[in-house]
Amino acid sequence: MTRQQGRLRLRVAVFACIAVVALALDQATKIWAQSALVAGRSIPVVPGLLSFTLVRNPGMSLGMLSSATWLISVLAIVASVALAVLALRTSSLRWTAVFSFAFAGAFGNLIDRVANADGFLNGAVVDFLDYGWSVGNVADIFLVGAGVAAVVLIAINEPFGPEATDVEGAGAAGTEGSERTGSR
């Protein structure tokens, strides 16, 4: 196995592990919310900052596009595929982690839309984290966190492509990048 194949396997393993654990956490909290909370009633957790309130949201953030739930579902499918492809194409473990959290967020809400549908991809997402101005879920936290992390990685100029391997894996010989490109 070449070094490049080993790094690809590592990135796939990191992506899969983060995505599976994040999806399990998202789905477990939604199952809990549906069994422990009653729609329309709030349970204060941190008064003035956070409550548990069960809401079934057919739209996006703040209920936007509630009448186009099927479109949101299609966009979530496209985003999930794109994030998985990006995770395979990057050479950076940091970008891999960001893509896996974003994937878990998009796919976690897509699971709700499919599981709760009574028509073509028109199901609602289970939201229960009430911030006072918006109600969301753990998948939303992963999406926002991944977005913030992506901005940070861009700001610090974290390499996305083969140069990421050169930076992360530069050894004593310093030939990792030249071996891959064939220029010694």
Which pLDDT tens digit goes with each residue over 67-100? Answer: 677 788 889 999 999 999 999 999 899 999 999 9
What does the pLDDT read at residue 120? 81
Q: Does residue 34 have a pLDDT over 90? A: yes
Q: What is the pLDDT of residue 129?
A: 96
On whether residue 180 sits in a domain, the answer given is no
Q: Give me the domain span that covers residue 80.
A: 3-168
Decide if 163 is inside a domain.
yes
The token pair at 159 is 């390499």
Residue 68 lies in a domain: yes
145 alpha carbon, distance to own chain's centre: 8
Please report whether residue 183 resides in a domain: no
The answer as to whether 178 is a domain residue is no
Confirm whether 184 is domain-assigned.
Answer: no
Q: Cite the active site residues.
A: 127, 140
Tell me which H or E stretch contains 130: strand 125-130
**DSSP states of 40-100:** T-EEEEETTTEEEEEEEESSSGGGTTGGGHHHHHHHHHHHHHHHHHHHHH---HHHHHHHH
User: What pTM value is reported for the model?
Assistant: 0.82
Q: How many domains does the chain have?
A: 1
Residue with tokens 């479109």: 71
